[in-house]
Structure 1
């Protein structure tokens, strides 16, 4: 297939999990992909996966919590390919687990820096470039916790709610400039983020909360991101689309 033929795309947090799946899917659909991560080894491994499958990609190091790194990433993409058409701002962290009244301040600051500020910084420079291109599509990775609580994770919930609001604001501001912006709200997906933070009993409990009684796969989220990034969703902007196996349906 070639839904993104001749497009130049960017994915943050692309060294593993959903980000890697999105980068691979973008390349499969014909895009040239800038793979970004704070882990050089993981990012380069994603690039190699894409190249092994016949796609085109390169790695650009960026700490999404730093405005200057987001600007440098866009500059590197434009220097290599001359434009930026599609972006998936996926990088995120889980943060500490604690009641809000006991939540460590440094943990709050770090989660907000990566999960909310980082999305704003990315969009800030992507929008600037896409306006020069004459259009583009941004997909921000939110979460089901952009609409429902995640007890013991106040910073994560607040940040993801913020991503949804930011996405809607961008859509309202840039709709007449041929730039679309949407958010995806994954439920619990089997990624290293879950494996690193939850034990087997917790994972099984989460599976049971979804109507489909299972965790999602990164590739299932990537397929939705590809749709929102492509012209197949040309009249869709400002949307927040949940993909959670029915977790929030009840």
Structure 2
């Protein structure tokens, strides 16, 4: 307990999955937490669950596609808890039906994903940074994705938006480091959130498992614990980085799993 005592955190997209994990861990380690989500009932329920454990949390509505809504979320955090010292920009969208290859993708979907996945990070930071300067510093954490680092057959807009998050993270870190504001990203691979478990066929999960270096999939707390570390003073000399939390899925020669299978047949 106490790794983030005295800190005030705004977690966007915090009603479920990775955001809920981060909000819960931050609260349990001493932070006052505002959980902001389009699913306002889920955000309020999550905050109530934390309050029932004697922790400090509030749940509010957030539409990350709207500048005014993002501004209001930051202002609520400051007005309710007195400041903001941790901002976790976690909202993100993907659409497998419309976000296709560059020839066939829906251009309106491109604009929507750039707005929600990338511009919301800019706006959250834009409104939080002046308060962090007044507070003497802070930590901004952005959810990127391994899609920012590797090409794929589809989700062109998603990957481009997340690559933008990675570089925007560096720019914020460079521009506001002298104010003791750190900015880092976390890039998840496949994480077994409730949404992933409910929507991904077992065959797809098996494909990911085949190419992971580790013999298991990631859980929401694997990302939540990384966010907790980046929010805490344990990471006080880390800024401008994006930590890849993906089980070694992308770090090896992509043929290694198939080559191991080949060797197994040869050695029989």
Q: TM-score, normalised by structure 1?
A: 0.96
Report what 1:95 is aligned to.
Answer: 95
Residue equivalent to 2:153:
151
- Aligned partner (choices 110, 118, 121) of residue 119 of structure 1: 121
- Structure 1 counterpart of 2:178: 176
Count of aligned positions: 250
Q: Distance in 2 between matches of 1:17 and 1:5?
A: 23
Q: Which residue of 1 aligns with 2:57?
A: 57
> What is the match of residue 221 of structure 1?
223
Deviation at 1:197, TM superposition (A): 4.6
Q: 1:210 to 1:78 in 2, by over 3 A?
A: same
Hey, what does 1:26 align to over in structure 2? 26
- Report the 3-state secondary structure (helix = DSSP H, G, I; strand = E; otherwise coil) of the residue aligned with 2:103: helix
Counterparts of 1:59 and 1:209, CA distance in 2:
38
Alignment map for 1:1-250 (pairs within 5 Å): 1-97=1-97, 98-195=100-197, 197-250=199-252
Larger radius of gyration: 2
* Structure 1 residue runs of 4 or more that deviate by more than 4 Å after TM superposition: none
Segments of structure 2 that go 5 or more residues without pairing to the other structure are: 253-268
Q: How far did residue 52 of structure 1 move?
A: 2.5
List per-residue Cα deviations over 1:20-40 (Å, max 9, x = no partner): 000000001100100000001
C-alpha separation in 1, matches of 2:152 and 2:221? 24
Kindly state the Cα deviation for residue 170 of structure 1 after the two structures are TM-superposed.
0.4
Deviation at 1:200, TM superposition (A): 2.1
Report if the CA contact (8 A) 1:96-1:107 is conserved.
no
Distance apart, 1:207 and its partner CA? 2.1
Q: RMSD in angstroms over aligned alpha carbons?
A: 1.3
**TM-score, with structure 2 as normaliser:** 0.90
Q: Following the alignment from structure 1 to structure 2, what is the Cα–Cα distance between the partners of residues 32 and 207?
A: 36
Give the Cα separation in 2 of the matches to 1:246 and 1:151: 20
- Distance in 2 (CA, whole Å) between partners of 1:78 and 1:5 is 17
- Alignment gaps of 5+ in structure 1: none
Shift of 1:96: 3.0
Secondary structure in 2 aligned to 1:169? helix
